[in-house]
Amino acid sequence: MAEQSSLVIPTFDLVLCLAQAVDLVSPLVADHHKRTAQIAYGLGMQMKLPEAELHDLVTAAALHDVGGLTQKDRLVALDFEYQDPYGHSVMGYLLLKSFPPFQNPANIVRFHHVPWLNGDGAVFDGIPVPPASHLLQLADRVAILIDVNADVLGQVDSILERIRAQSGERFVPEQVQALELLAEKEAFWLDVVYLQQLNILGHRLNFKELHITEDEFLGLTNLFRRIIDFRSQFTASHSAGVAAVSDILAQRCDFTPAQCRMIHLAGLMHDLGKLAVPAEILEKPGKLTSQEFAIVRRHTYFTYHLLEPLKVLDLIRVWAAYHHERIDGHGYPFHLVANELPLGSRIVSVADIFTALTEDRPYRKGMSVMEAFQIISDAAEQRRLDPSVVNTLKEHLIQVDQARALAQASALDEYHRFIGTAADLIRQPA
């Protein structure tokens, strides 16, 4: 059995990386999560929250709409009057709570659209609502009211007026008072608009490093995978398939057990940048236009870029983000050539194509293993894919396909359970 080492991950870098990934879903409101985190931080400091509570609040704020999986979900939540206490809040809660260190932020996110109702909103569906949820709601709504293209200080009075009008009914009066006091400081508003470098916020907060075992790390990677794949039932199991195929090919290419675990993680995260591709395009039942394809092509660039803050993941990032590079230099987005592409990247490339061809897509059923292999083998002959990896695939074709099918079936099952649990939570009587 392989050694169980622990990984040290700077918690805030992780939150930052996820927040940036989440912000990619709706470029129209880029940086909404960063701004909400900044406002929540100001409010938390103003209310003198203990350090641990402040950290949970800021983490929740940086990720609060993670459950809004499509651009449409996101846009409706950005209407100031949006008041649905279920929907994306419940989805976000379920996603985040699967990673134990995010348990508290998950609980905060769950209730971030519950109105105060003059005190009745302290409990929702029989569950006590954390005060931080109400504070997050306030931070979120303030963030929405700011027009970042105009001078922010000139907007303070009108923003306060709109918030004040719903104090008691929607917002907690003591929290609104904290906002009124904080609002006197120009620096607070200027930070929200100009302090886009969230890592500065990280320094101010003095977040601790997170020591996590590799098993816990797998849980974290699964969180990333769900955020990527659960946007549509057609992609719900893609990354799990790529991970399983990469893992087994790596084993057959004599990777060590530790390296195999890493390539498994690279497979789970390879399409992280797909968050920048609207679900509407991912689900399109037919051929993409050249414009749509150009949008899809951005995704590996974003996978590379989003994981950059997490230095401990450097190798995983390279294996994951180069999966559309080709050894003849005609891949994207970096146009690397053979000697710049490590074996791990070449394996993930083959695994990605094999999985994509054999799985069902919105517009077609999956191909047979032999048909898929023929396409891959042709690509190897044209020196686009690594012939030695493709040869390994050929030798273990049936076993690889079984591993893929099994991994994808269980991921799909998990997706349906996730949707089912969300539906149950939403059906509870209010």
Chain residues that interact with Fe ion, rule: CB under 5 A = 65, 77, 271, 352
Q: Would you say 357 and 375 are in contact if contact means Cβ atoms under 8 Å apart?
A: yes
Q: CB of 365: closest distance to Fe ion in angstroms?
A: 18
Say which amino acid occupies 183: A
Tokens 């929740």 sit on residue? 60
- Residue 251 half-sphere exposure toward CB, CA atoms < 13 A: 13
Cβ proximity to Fe ion: between 77 and 369 the closer is: 77
> Which two three-digit tokens encode residue 370?
């032999």
> Which two three-digit tokens encode residue 271?
């399409």
Q: CB of 368: closest distance to Fe ion in angstroms?
A: 20
Q: CB of 351: closest distance to Fe ion in angstroms?
A: 9
Q: CB of 65: closest distance to Fe ion in angstroms?
A: 5
Q: Which helix (H) or strand (E) holds 6?
A: strand 6-10
Q: CB of 157: closest distance to Fe ion in angstroms?
A: 25
Rounded Cα distance between 161 and 247, Å, is 57
Cβ proximity to Fe ion: between 77 and 260 the closer is: 77
Cβ proximity to Fe ion: between 65 and 401 the closer is: 65
Cβ proximity to Fe ion: between 114 and 210 the closer is: 114
Name the CA dihedral angle for 275, 334, 387, 253, rounded to a multiple of 10 degrees: -60
Of 161, 185, 201, 207, nearest to 35 (Cα)?
201
Name the CA dihedral angle for 15, 51, 100, 203, rounded to a multiple of 10 degrees: 20
CA dihedral over 394, 396, 399, 404, signed as positive or negative: negative
Cβ proximity to Fe ion: between 10 and 221 the closer is: 221
Q: CB of 421: closest distance to Fe ion in angstroms?
A: 19
Rounded Cα distance between 265 and 307, Å, is 12
Rounded Cα distance between 102 and 105, Å, is 5
Q: CB of 292: closest distance to Fe ion in angstroms?
A: 15
Q: CB of 154: closest distance to Fe ion in angstroms?
A: 27
Tokens 């607070």 sit on residue? 188
Cβ proximity to Fe ion: between 271 and 401 the closer is: 271
The residues facing 10 across adjacent strands are: 209
Q: Would you say 12 and 42 are in contact if contact means Cβ atoms under 8 Å apart?
A: no
CA dihedral over 38, 91, 425, 72, signed as positive or negative: positive
Q: CB of 135: closest distance to Fe ion in angstroms?
A: 14
Q: CB of 1: closest distance to Fe ion in angstroms?
A: 30
Cβ proximity to Fe ion: between 80 and 194 the closer is: 80
Strands (E), 206-294: 209-213
Other C-beta atoms closer than 10 Å to the C-beta of 194 total: 11
Cβ proximity to Fe ion: between 11 and 300 the closer is: 300
Cβ proximity to Fe ion: between 56 and 65 the closer is: 65
Cβ proximity to Fe ion: between 77 and 106 the closer is: 77
The residues facing 210 across adjacent strands are: 9
CA distances from 72 to 136, 382, 430 (A): 21, 41, 25
